[in-house]
Amino acid sequence: MFLAKAFGIRSGEPETLVLVKSLLSHHDVYQAEFYREVDVFSRVSHDHVARLLGVCREMEPLFLITEYCEWVSHSLLAVASRAREGRGAKFGLRTAAPFEALGRF
């Protein structure tokens, strides 16, 4: 995961801090997990859960873009999710326009 600045992703905000996750694997299991996360984030609307801001799927790698929340460790949540299912990570993140990378989680 990367902490990044997204430009113009929210109306009224020239730049927004976001977490970006990309799908780097073509394996069916990892693609299904990625789309499951997109589905879960798209259905959740709660003040204490990061909101889905966008999904970039026109070209590879696919990106999942969520709000950045200082009080939540997204990397720990991702690791816990994969550990629960007993498999290693095939997700990785890299930046692409319109993102500016600020750090890696």
State pLDDT tens for residues 37-62. Answer: 999 889 888 887 888 999 988 888 89
CATH number at residue 30: 3.30.200.20
Contact between residue 2 and residue 94 where contact means Cβ atoms under 8 Å apart = yes
Compute the C-alpha angle 23/8/96, nearest 5°.
35
Q: Which residue type sits at 17?
A: L
Cα separation of 94 and 97, whole Å?
A: 10
What does residue 25 show for φ and ψ, rounded to 5 degrees? Answer: -105, 150
- Three-state DSSP class for residue 68: coil
Contact between residue 77 and residue 1 where contact means Cβ atoms under 8 Å apart = no
Domain residue limits at 55: 2-104
| 34 — pLDDT class (breaks 50, 70, 90) | very high
- How many domains would you assign to the chain? 1
- Averaged pLDDT score across all residues of the chain: 75
